[in-house]
Amino acid sequence: SRSKVESRLLQYFYQFLPGSSCQSIPGPTGFFLIGNMMELTQSHLPIHLTNLAQRYGNIYRLKCGNTTMVVLSSSEIIKEALVKKWSDFAGRPVSYTGDIVSGGGSNISLGDYTERWRAHRSLVHGALRRCCQQSLHDVIERQALKLRKVLRDYQDKAVDLADDFTVAASNVITTLAFGKEYDNNSPELQELHSCLNEIVSLWGSPWISALDTFPLLRKLPNPVFARLLKEVVRRDEIIRSHISNYKSQDHKNEEVITASLLQGLDKHHNTEHEEVLTDVHVHMATVDLLIGGTETTAAWLNWTVAFLLHRPEVQTRVYEELCTVLEERYPKYSDRHRLPVLGALISEVLRLRPVAPLAVPHRAIRDSSIAGHFIPKNTVIIPNLFGAHHDPEVWDDPYSFKPERFLEGGGGASRALIPFGGGARLCLGESVAKMELFLFTAYLLRDFQFLPPASEASLPDLRGVASVVLKVKPFKVIARPRSATDI
């Protein structure tokens, strides 16, 4: 094919250049050091990488220890790598710390692209699809109504809703996974969250990534790393106890994902697969769904409220649309095409604050090319989704919150939106997430008006803090019921 010929020619040409690796790609000279990584992560790594794109272009390279990373910051270039050439870039970088959090690479999100990984992803994909067809809508509706009750009980007090959103998103996943729903103050739930949150934030910390880049540091004491190891053990105990509880039930709920995964595992063993999946894969898939499906959705809901406080007229427009189209009733997911203003709000928050702003790093599993540049095998690719969503070539006034751009631009604007990545590594929970964002937002905006606490000065800071997930800084809000009576 044309791309193979192109890649061979480029490879031939670049082998004569000194230092070979990604030579034709522009980028800052020198290394990305721990010092400036710390400074950057505190300020906001996706913003920094996006600023570098303004200087070096939408494809540039960074050197980090012995690793060359290529950062892609436009939707077109990201799609070329992730979708068009998916089979070249479906790998994940194998790393010392990644191996520890992923049970030796046996989860989906960090596992490298192998036959076994494909069998694992397809097993979980099938289980998720079956379970979503049967119960997802009901599960989300139930959590949206529970959230509504929690917000009403605040009785106009200014509160931080972040934890309530986390409980709602997490209950969707735990109900789907093992038929288990927690109360807001349940100690079991607190433990699960604190553990998963710790793992995500510790793993995103420069003290940990430095161990991948500079192996010598592994010989020194590192309290942050010691904490990470402890949390991974705690996580595994929690998940193990959930799965064994499920297995020991006399009347098992056959609709949940764990049931589908265990049945799928049996079928898998009964066919002549060389690459066998085991209980460890069921365990790690549960971790994937819990980590992938809780903080992302919760962070997105919190961003939505934060942006709406800055532009209350958008909130009014969505509310009026809900009242006109649905009159008295609550929305169904099938109503989404009749609610374009709500759809535009969802798209604009996904654009401005893609909650996984740098996706998950990919790895070239063979020599290839991107945007005409030769990319050698093993190069790490960073899809800078945040950068792509702020590309001035595509978006007018890219840093402003303007949901109306999705109403005016027809389908054009939506095509450049890639908050869930694409290709072989497309977010596994994309359809779960889309239904959640729609139903939670529609329920919340139908029943509540979100107001800032008292003065203009307390409007939320919209810059955000980024580790693996891009979150809004903590803020308080008043959720005022639209009607005085409970339904």
Return the axis-axis angle of helices 223-248 and 162-178, rounded to nearest 10°.
40
* CA atoms in the 13 A half-sphere facing the CB of 164: 23
Nearest Cα neighbor of 300 from 138, 177, 203, 430 is: 430
Query: What φ, ψ does residue 470 adopt, rounded to 5°?
Result: -90, 115
Buried b vs exposed e over 88-125: b needs ≥16 C-beta within 10 Å? bbbbbbebebbebbbbebbbbbbbbbeebbebbbebbe
Rounded Cα–Cα distance for residues 269 and 19 (Å): 47
Residue 425 binding ligand HEM, by CB under 6 A: yes
Q: Figure out which of the listed residues 10, 47, 208, 356 binds ligand HEM, where binding follows CB under 6 A.
A: 356
Rounded Cα–Cα distance for residues 161 and 415 (Å): 32
Element (H, E) at 274: none
Structure tokens at 207: 């003290």
368-387 footprint of ligand HEM as x/- string (CB under 6 A): ---------------x----
Q: Which is nearer to ligand HEM, 363 or 405 (CB)?
A: 363
- The DSSP 8-state label assigned to residue 84 in this structure reads I
Residue 121 binding ligand HEM, by CB under 6 A: yes
Residues numbered 42-81 forming contacts with ligand HEM, rule: CB under 6 A: none
- The DSSP 8-state label assigned to residue 356 in this structure reads S
Rounded Cα–Cα distance for residues 487 and 485 (Å): 6
Segment near ligand HEM (CB under 6 A), from 23-31, 191-199, 263-271, 288-296?
Answer: 288-296
CA angle centred on 78, ends 77 and 83, rounded to 5°: 110
Residue 288 binding ligand HEM, by CB under 6 A: yes
Residue 427 binding ligand HEM, by CB under 6 A: yes
Known binder of ligand: residue 427?
yes
* Contact (Cβ atoms closer than 8 angstroms) between residue 433 and residue 293: yes
| Least CB distance to ligand HEM at residue 250 (A) | 28
Segment near ligand HEM (CB under 6 A), from 5-13, 201-209, 312-320, 352-360?
Answer: 352-360
Residue 93 binding ligand HEM, by CB under 6 A: no
Residues numbered 291-310 forming contacts with ligand HEM, rule: CB under 6 A: 292-293, 296-297, 300
Q: Which is nearer to ligand HEM, 292 or 460 (CB)?
A: 292
Nearest Cα neighbor of 74 from 323, 451, 395 is: 395
Q: Which is nearer to ligand HEM, 23 or 467 (CB)?
A: 467
Q: Which is nearer to ligand HEM, 140 or 478 (CB)?
A: 140
Structure tokens at 264: 């799928």
| Least CB distance to ligand HEM at residue 162 (A) | 15
Q: Which is nearer to ligand HEM, 136 or 211 (CB)?
A: 136
| Least CB distance to ligand HEM at residue 360 (A) | 4
Distance of CA 220 to the CA centre of its chain: 32
Residue 443 binding ligand HEM, by CB under 6 A: no
200-239 footprint of ligand HEM as x/- string (CB under 6 A): ----------------------------------------
* Contact (Cβ atoms closer than 8 angstroms) between residue 289 and residue 173: yes
Rounded Cα–Cα distance for residues 146 and 175 (Å): 14
- The DSSP 8-state label assigned to residue 426 in this structure reads S
Q: Figure out which of the listed residues 206, 421, 452, 460 binds ligand HEM, where binding follows CB under 6 A.
A: 421
Segment near ligand HEM (CB under 6 A), from 214-222, 240-248, 285-293, 311-319?
Answer: 285-293
Residue 419 binding ligand HEM, by CB under 6 A: yes
| Least CB distance to ligand HEM at residue 378 (A) | 17
Q: Where are the beta strands (DSSP E) in 56-167?
A: 59-64, 67-72, 158-159
Residue 417 binding ligand HEM, by CB under 6 A: no
Q: Figure out which of the listed residues 64, 77, 131, 289 binds ligand HEM, where binding follows CB under 6 A.
A: 289
* Contact (Cβ atoms closer than 8 angstroms) between residue 87 and residue 424: yes
| Least CB distance to ligand HEM at residue 243 (A) | 17
Q: Figure out which of the listed residues 123, 167, 428, 472 binds ligand HEM, where binding follows CB under 6 A.
A: 428
Structure tokens at 46: 């996706």
Q: Which amino acids are annotated as binding site for heme, given as ranges?
A: 427
Contacts with ligand HEM by CB under 6 A lie at: 82, 108-109, 121, 173, 288-289, 292-293, 296-297, 300, 354-356, 359-360, 383, 419-421, 425, 427-429, 432-433
